[in-house]
Amino acid sequence: MSHCLDIFRYCPVCGSQHFNVNNVKSKKCADCGFVYYLNPSAATAAFIENEQGELLVCRRGKEPVKGTLDLPGGFTDMEETCAETIAREIKEELNLTVDSSEILFSLPNWYCYSGMNIPTLDFFFVCRVSDFSTLQAADDVAEAFFVKSEELDPEQFGLTSIRKAVTIYKEKKISANHSCDQN
C-alpha cells in the first residue's frame, strides 16, 4: 500500500526530489529539512428534520460516490468555524436558512479527491430549519428529499463516515422512541 502523501514527489519549499516519508502523517525534505504534515481537513454534515420527524437527505451530484445518498454539508473554509460552515453549506446546497445548530459528534474519515485519499475529521450537527418552502437542490446536490427514520438504510449512503453517522442517528432515534414507549 502506498503512503497517502506519495502524490507529492517534490519538496514544496526547495523543489528537491528528496522529499521522503517521515512518518505515517508527514514527509520531510532531506535537503532543506522542511516537514509537511497531512493533518485532517475539517468537514461538516447536518441532520435536519421536518415537523414530522423525517430526515432531510441529499443525492450526490458529483464524485466521489455520485448518485448515492448523503447528508448536506461540506468542507470548512479558512477563517470559518464548523458552525459557520454547516450554515453556509446548507444555504449553498439546499437554499435553506439554519435557525440553530448543535454539534453532536465527530468521526474520522478518508475522502477521495483528485486521486488522493485526504484524511478528514467530519463534524456532525443537528440543525433546525423553520422554513422549508425555499428548499431547492443546488451546488453538488442532485436532489433533496425527506425520509422517515424507520426507512433509512445506511448502506445507501456512499461516504463511510456519513454511513456510520446515519447508523448512530437511526439507533439513537429508535432507542429514544422505545424509551418514550416504556413511560
Pairing of strands 55-60, 41-48: unpaired
pLDDT at 153 over 80: yes
CATH topology of domain 41-181: Nucleoside Triphosphate Pyrophosphohydrolase (3.90.79)
**What local confidence, expressed as pLDDT, does residue 1 receive?**
46
Q: Quickly list DSSP for 98-118.
A: -SEEEEEEEEEEEEEETTEEE
Domain ranges of the chain: 1-38, 41-181
CA 96 to chain CA centroid, nearest Å: 18
Q: Which residue has the higher pLDDT, 25 or 141?
A: 141
> pTM here?
0.89
Tens-place pLDDT, residues 11-45:
999 999 999 999 989 999 999 999 999 899 999 99
Asked whether 71 and 150 are in contact (CB, 8 A), the reply is no
